[in-house]
Amino acid sequence: MKPQWDQTIKLPSKNYVCGHCNESIAEEDGYVGGYRDHRGSMRTSFIYICHFCGGPTYFDENEFQFPGSKFGENVRHINNASIEALYDEARSCFSVSAFTSSVICCRKLLMNISVAEGAKEGEAFAFYVNFLNDNGHIPKNGKKWVDSIRKLGNEANHSISLKTKDEAKLILTFTAMLLKFIYEMPGMLGNADD
Ligand SMILES: [Zn+2]
């Protein structure tokens, strides 16, 4: 059930990825607002309504999009609620440019995946990356990622260095690949009608 919005107007068509449903869309329905800045120039912002999910997206006068699009692919068949929630949180952090938080979420996620796959709790992050690697959860061509991920995850918790967008993108992409490998692909085999 999607919300109906009253008295929307036709706006200049806009292409964006909806942060609510992740669809790539072109929209022209929504609302416009504005004010005059101290130089007297008109500053205009918009709210576009997604025709898929009905979710509103705000674009300020500098074209900043809120909510931003979530980075990372949708992963199906995750049968563990806390792993699913952490993945969603990592993607949401990324969408609001909270890159360090996104990296920390992914780090916790990799630990939770390992424990769900039989690793013991309370170990250091590197232990879990090695566990996933040694137990065949990281595909052969993903192994070159392992060192950079190990380095990224450790730094986020033990030093104050802030993470960049590229670093967050790297660990989120790696995490999505792992989740697909561990949950989505076996799940697809388990559901003949899927
Ligand atoms: Zn949407």
Q: Where are the beta strands (DSSP E) in the chain?
A: 9-17, 24-36, 42-49, 56-59, 65-66
Range of the structural domain that residue 93 is part of? 81-190
Do 30 and 116 belong together in one domain? Answer: no
What the block records as the tokens of 106 is: 């992914």
- 18 and 54 assigned to the same domain: yes
Residue-by-residue pLDDT tens, the chain, 194 positions:
889 999 999 999 999 999 888 899 999 999 999 999 899 998 999 999 999 999 999 999 988 888 888 888 889 999 999 999 999 999 989 888 898 899 889 989 999 999 999 999 988 888 898 899 899 888 777 777 777 777 776 665 566 577 788 888 988 998 998 999 899 988 887 654 44
Distance 168 CA to ligand 1 centre (A): 24
* Span from the CA of 18 to the centroid of ligand 1 (angstroms): 5
Q: How far is the CA of 19 from the centre of ligand 1 (A)?
A: 7
* Structural domains counted in the chain: 2
The answer, as to whether pTM is greater than 0.85, is no
Whether residue 173 is contained in a domain is answered as yes
Label residue 86 left, alpha or beta by phi (over 0 means left) and psi (-120 to 50 means alpha): alpha
Q: Separation of 172 CA from ligand 1 center, angstroms?
A: 22
C-alpha closest to that of 46 among 33, 55, 29, 56: 33
